[in-house]
Amino acid sequence: MPRKQKPLAAILTSFSLLIASLLFVLPIVFCIFTSFKESIEIIKDVTFFPHKWSLVNYDYVFVRGTKYLTYYLNTIIITVSSVAITLGLSSLAGYSFAKLPFKGSKVLLASILFVLAFPLAAILIPIYIMEYNLGILNTYIGLILPNLLLILPFSIFIMRGTFIDLSHELEDSAEIDGCNVPQTWWHIMLPLAQNALVIVLVSGFYSVWGEYTISKTLATKDSIMPISVALTLLKSEDWNYGVLAAAITMSIIPPITIFAIFQNSLVEGMAAGAVKG
């Protein structure tokens, strides 16, 4: 017997969901609309919709305001490198934890889990001192390496979870065919772990893209700041909401687009990672 939903319950459900969704979506839409307004309109009379659509703010960000492009580029460099390194490290370590057990590998795995619980604040003070002494404060490498902490543990769990589900027979037959361990990993196992790699890539991307605390601490020079930190500091000197809105819009569109594309696998992966972790 097919279950029939009571119409009232169905309407109430949809209505509550609609209200909730609007609360999440409207601020973003407001930001996007503001970015198309001229500054006079923003200050004189705030409305949700622009009276006149204008590209003047984007013109400022891309053509005249070179510093915005610098921030944007910094974000891209830091994000791409951190995610690329994480893909490499986590697919190696995840494979090791899943298929190549060694003495102490369980303890090591548990201690990586422990890392997740540590507040960054406790770690950032020594990192700051260390990077100061090494002279890598305010450099890309000095920002990329600490960002790995943010995404590496989770990624290792995702990769391990995937590799552990792959059958042992694959390994054995590869071995019979004369593959050594790295060859098996590269030619046989990694292609089968594509879904997990996508999850690591996407979740790593948006974590680093929007990262604030690390960059706020370790990037004090304008020329190296990612957009997530730089814009919050601009506020007082560039009191131009239209330009800010355009810059914000430009930096929230990439993660939202990627999320919309990969939503299903990402949501599953995040849930699985959190439960296994």
**What residues numbered 101-140 form the site for another protein, per CB under 8 A?**
101-103, 105, 108, 112, 115, 117-130, 132
Nearer of residues 55 and 129 to another protein, judged by Cβ = 129
| Subset of 230-249 contacting another protein (CB under 8 A) | 231-232, 235, 241, 244-245, 248
Tell me which stretch binds another protein (CB under 8 A): 49-57, 58-66, 85-93, 190-198.
Answer: 85-93
Contact between 75 and 214 under an 8 Å Cβ cutoff? The reply is no
* Token output for 224: 């190296």
Separation between Cα atoms, residue 51 and residue 90, nearest integer Å: 50
Closest distance of CB 142 from another protein, Å = 11
Answer for the pair 215, 228: CB distance below 8 angstroms, yes or no: yes
Contact status: 25 vs another protein (CB under 8 A): yes
Give dist(CA 250, CA 199) in Å, integer: 23
Q: Does 148 participate in binding another protein (rule CB under 8 A)?
A: yes
Q: What DSSP letter does each residue of 88-140 carry, written as one string?
A: HHHHHHHHHHHH---TTHHHHHHHHHHHHHS-HHHHHHHHHHHHHHHT-TTSH
3-state helix, strand, coil split of the chain in percent (to 5) is 80, 0, 20
Q: How far is the CB of 197 from another protein (least distance, A)?
A: 16
Instruction: Pick the binder of another protein from 152, 174, 196, 243 (CB under 8 A).
Output: 152
Binding-site member from 69, 190, 259, 265 for another protein (CB under 8 A): 259
Q: Which two tokens stand for residue 72?
A: 């944007």
246: left (phi over 0), alpha (psi -120 to 50) or beta: alpha
255 binds another protein (CB under 8 A): yes
Span interacting with another protein, options 44-52, 54-62, 63-71, 191-199, rule CB under 8 A: 44-52
Q: Is 192 a residue that touches another protein (CB under 8 A)?
A: no
Site for another protein in 214-233 (CB under 8 A): 216-217, 227-229, 231-232
**Nearest distance from residue 85's CB to another protein, in Å?**
8
- Tell me the C-alpha distance between 33 and 9, whole Å: 35
Residue for token digits 């697919």?
A: 91
The stretch near another protein (CB under 8 A) out of 50-58, 66-74, 193-201, 269-277 is 269-277
Query: Are 211 and 150 a contacting pair, CB within 8 Å?
Result: yes
Among 76, 179, 190, 270, binds another protein (CB under 8 A): 270
Q: Which two tokens stand for residue 33?
A: 């609309």
- Applying the rule CB under 8 A, the residues between 198 and 217 that interact with another protein are 206, 209-210, 212-213, 216-217
The interface region with another protein, picked from 54-62, 66-74, 148-156, 190-198 by CB under 8 A, is 148-156
- Token pair, residue 179, equals 């593959």
Question: Which of the residues 45 through 64 are near another protein (CB under 8 A)?
Answer: 46-48
CB nearer another protein, residue 60 or residue 206? 206
Q: In one letter, which amino acid is 110?
A: A
The tally of CA atoms less than 13 A away on the side-chain side of residue 138 is 6
